[in-house]
């Protein structure tokens, strides 16, 4: 079943004298309401609690400024619903938090920030309140690499199809994606082919991205890792980034990497910035598997035939 997204109040007690329970929620890994759920007045709250499932995402909010603004205080994953009908959920709170604070988001249906608990139903609000959620997550393919995507590894395992960059030149611009030796203002810059065609539409947006690659020799697909917060950059930033790489001598080093791999560096130094860099991320947001994980033939990555910026769903999760 699909993951659902919920928001609960941080307070117990009457609205005129609320008791903030946030600290206890966080310390004890739970969320609860003290409403009398046997009272018909609270039927909507009981119905919501009965609908919550293990692995649903849950946040706790607090209203302020005469209920004009909201602060999301903590985000987590529901781990136990045995006492849901008694008003209690067990929650594993995320270690890393990216929390919304601002005007109450405009919503539809039952998205009402004044309620004790409610389900967030619109895509815009889910991505706002739960920025690292599956609904916002993407899937991207990397060209094959046997050196950990820190520098080009040569033609082995790559496509030989004419008309493709790797087929023509023997390398892909994303082969430096995991090279953490080149950091600018705290960010690591890289390139993802699946973003290229829709780059303008994605510019300045942030996505969690699940990465996979195909060994061109065996045709097997492998899960490589993920970037928890990848920011798609615009043309202006890509141009500035290329200039900095030139000034620091990094582009020349990349040309040497291409040559050493046996690939063709022709035209590399003349590429526009967006042909070299279209994303940035903080090194700590990169999670790489110790070894590529071979995907089963039934895995949905097998249905992606090109370098598409596909939508992630629960079927992609590797257990």
Domains, the chain: 5-136 (3.10.590), 138-316 (no CATH)
In this prediction, residues 60-65 reach a mean pLDDT of 89
In this prediction, residues 91-114 reach a mean pLDDT of 81
Mean pLDDT, the chain, whole residue set: 92
In this prediction, residues 39-57 reach a mean pLDDT of 95
pLDDT of residue 68: 85
Report the distance separating Cα 191 and Cα 177, nearest Å: 7
DSSP code string of 58-97: EEEEEEETTTTEEEEEEEEEEEE-TTGGGTEEEEEE-SS-
Q: Is the pLDDT of residue 109 over 60?
A: no
* Residue with more model confidence, 69 or 67: 69
pLDDT tier, 232 (very low <50, low <70, confident <90, very high otherwise):
very high
In this prediction, residues 272-285 reach a mean pLDDT of 96
Report the distance separating Cα 56 and Cα 36, nearest Å: 24
Distance between the two ends of the chain, CA-based, in angstroms?
Answer: 16
pLDDT of residue 128: 87
Report the distance separating Cα 227 and Cα 209, nearest Å: 5
- Could you read off the pLDDT of 238-275 as tens digits, one per residue? 999 999 999 999 999 999 999 999 999 998 989 999 99
Judge contact between 69 and 103, C-beta under 8 A: yes
- Could you read off the pLDDT of 123-141 as tens digits, one per residue? 888 888 998 788 889 999 9
pTM comes to: 0.77
Q: Is the pLDDT of residue 52 over 60?
A: yes
Q: Is the pLDDT of residue 206 over 80?
A: yes
Quick one: which of 195, 215, 192 has its CA closest to 203?
Answer: 195
Report the distance separating Cα 307 and Cα 300, nearest Å: 14
Quick one: which of 213, 203, 205 has its CA closest to 177?
Answer: 213
In this prediction, residues 214-233 reach a mean pLDDT of 95
What is the share, in percent, of the chain residues with pLDDT greater than 90?
Answer: 75
pLDDT of residue 111: 67
Quick one: which of 120, 35, 144, 27 has its CA closest to 72?
Answer: 120
């Amino acid at each position: 079943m699909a993951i659902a997204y919920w928001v609960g109040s941080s307070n117990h007690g009457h609205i005129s004298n609320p008791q903030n329970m946030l600290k206890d929620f966080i310390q004890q890994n739970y969320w609860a309401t003290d409403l009398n759920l046997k009272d018909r007045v609270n039927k909507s709250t009981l119905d919501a609690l009965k609908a919550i499932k293990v692995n649903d995402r849950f946040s706790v909010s607090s209203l302020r400024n005469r209920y004009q603004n909201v602060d999301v205080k903590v985000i987590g994953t529901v781990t136990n619903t045995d006492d849901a009908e008694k008003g209690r959920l067990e929650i594993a709170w995320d270690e890393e938090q990216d929390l919304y604070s601002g005007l109450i988001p405009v919503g539809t249906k039952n998205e009402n920030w004044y309620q004790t608990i409610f389900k967030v139903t619109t895509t815009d609000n889910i991505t706002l309140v739960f920025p690292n959620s599956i609904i916002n997550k993407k899937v991207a393919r990397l060209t094959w690499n046997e050196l950990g995507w820190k520098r080009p590894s040569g033609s082995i395992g790559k496509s030989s199809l004419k008309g493709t960059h790797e087929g023509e030149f023997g390398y892909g611009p994303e082969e430096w994606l995991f090279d953490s030796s080149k950091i600018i203002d705290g960010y690591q810059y890289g390139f993802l082919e699946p973003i290229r065609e829709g780059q303008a539409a994605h510019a300045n947006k942030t996505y969690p991205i699940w990465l996979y690659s195909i060994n061109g020799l065996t045709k097997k697909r492998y899960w490589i890792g993920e970037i928890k917060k990848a920011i798609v950059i615009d043309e202006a930033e890509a141009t500035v980034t290329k200039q900095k790489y030139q000034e620091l001598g990094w582009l020349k080093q990349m040309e040497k990497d291409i040559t050493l791999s046996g690939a063709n560096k022709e035209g590399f130094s003349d590429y526009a910035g967006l042909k070299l860099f279209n994303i940035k991320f903080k090194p700590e947001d990169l999670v790489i598997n110790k070894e590529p994980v071979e995907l089963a033939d039934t895995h949905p990555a097998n249905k992606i035939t090109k370098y598409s910026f596909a939508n992630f769903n629960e079927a992609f999760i590797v257990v």
